[in-house]
Amino acid sequence: MHANFATLWRYLKTFTSLSNGGDIILIVGPSNNGKSQLLGLLTKHIRETLYPFVELGHVPIIGAKANPSRDSRMTPKQLIRSLLEDGGHPLFDPQRREQAGFYPRENRFSEDGLLGNLTELLSRRGVRYVLIDEGQAITRTKDPQFAATLMESLKTLAGSDRNLVVCGGYDLLEPALSVRSHLAVRTIVLHLAPYELTTGLTEWKRILKTLSTTPKLEGLGRVFNDSAQMLLTESNGCVGVLERRLKDCLSWCSAQSIPFDKAALSERRPTKLQWEVQRKDIADGIDQLHQVDWEAGAGGEVTLIGLAKKKQAETPRTVPRPKKQKPFQRNPDRFPGVR
């Protein structure tokens, strides 16, 4: 485990041992940085350590991966169906339907009906944790109010004795934290951060040294050490991007029958579009994760800088008013050819 990953893993183990339910945990970070892997470890920890023995018919944890459809998002109805399938509901479990020969139509159940089935399943099965991966696919919409409503609909999955863990990109932050206060105050945000380009070089070299001991990359320690700064910058500090980059370069060297060196890494650099789109995503996400600010007044008192005060400092935009004209009078500039 690298440092940022290990820190969050230790946090989750401690927090899950202290929480009795009612909490919403939001794990955010850039793509290919280990969020799904962290969620997998949490799943194993809950099943094997927290709830190794459960009553017959109970399942301590259910989960779903938000797979986007053609419009690049997943509807709440699709998510609820996935949770019902994972929870083993008799009407939605594929294995049970196959045995019974019962295949209900897709449009037979309304969203309210599905939610009622899920609520009953959570209670009867004794579910303690609901895990959702790729959660940004649920809130992907142009309307921030609608995105917040979709995120709020997930709040019902965190009951008084049950926690909700949602894992995804930075797109989750705004609908979860900036619109509905009763949702924001119940949410705990964990940031699986990429390594900084200025301060993360030491840990990055340690990661590269560990990778150089694996069978397929054995003996490349010196090449990795000489290329550490370049790999850190071009991977935007994301370990998953680094691993994919090394696999790509290793395959390229094998196909071209050339040695794996710094020149080969330079030849297989990411495209400008790839690098810039991820860099922008990270910069926007970190900007949304800024913590509250405090300032010292003239008398030495310390006060919190609120959002309203920051908005007052901004220059208000002036909207030009349309020109007035008499009723039923033709606009002379509308049809210049008539003149």
The C-alpha atoms of residue 130 and residue 180 are separated, in whole angstroms, by 21
Q: In terms of Cα–Cα distance, which of 166, 91, 82, 158 is closest to 127?
A: 158
pTM: 0.81
Please give the pLDDT value at position 278: 92
* Torsions phi, psi for 38 (to 5 deg): -65, -40
The CA distances from residue 54 to 14, 15, 18, 116, 143, in Å, are 21, 21, 19, 24, 42
Return the ∠ at Cα 119 (arms to 115 and 122), rounded to 5°. 135
Cβ count near 45 (within 10 Å): 16
- Residues 48-73 have pLDDT tens digits of 999 988 888 888 999 888 776 656 66
**235 CB-contact burial (10 Å; exposed 0-12 / middle 13-18 / buried 19+):** buried
Q: Which residue has the tokens 């339907």?
A: 97
Answer positive or negative: Cα dihedral of 192, 194, 199, 201: positive
Rg of the chain, C-alpha, whole Å: 26
The C-alpha atoms of residue 241 and residue 265 are separated, in whole angstroms, by 14
The pair of structure tokens assigned to 99 is 């045995």
Q: Which residue has the tokens 């696919």?
A: 137
The pair of structure tokens assigned to 131 is 């895990």
Q: What is the full per-residue pLDDT of the chain (339 aa) written as tens digits? A: 789 999 999 999 999 999 888 899 999 999 888 899 999 999 999 999 999 888 888 889 998 887 766 566 677 788 888 888 888 887 777 666 665 555 555 556 777 888 888 888 888 888 999 999 988 888 877 777 877 887 887 888 888 889 999 999 998 888 888 888 888 888 999 999 999 988 889 999 999 999 999 998 888 999 999 999 999 999 999 999 999 999 999 999 999 999 999 999 999 999 999 999 999 999 999 998 887 777 776 666 666 665 444 444 555 555 566 666 555 555 655 555 555
Please give the pLDDT value at position 272: 92
- Residues 279-300 have pLDDT tens digits of 999 999 999 888 777 777 666 6
- With beta carbons less than 8 A apart as the criterion, state whether 42 and 163 touch: no
State whether residue 193 is helix, strand or coil. coil
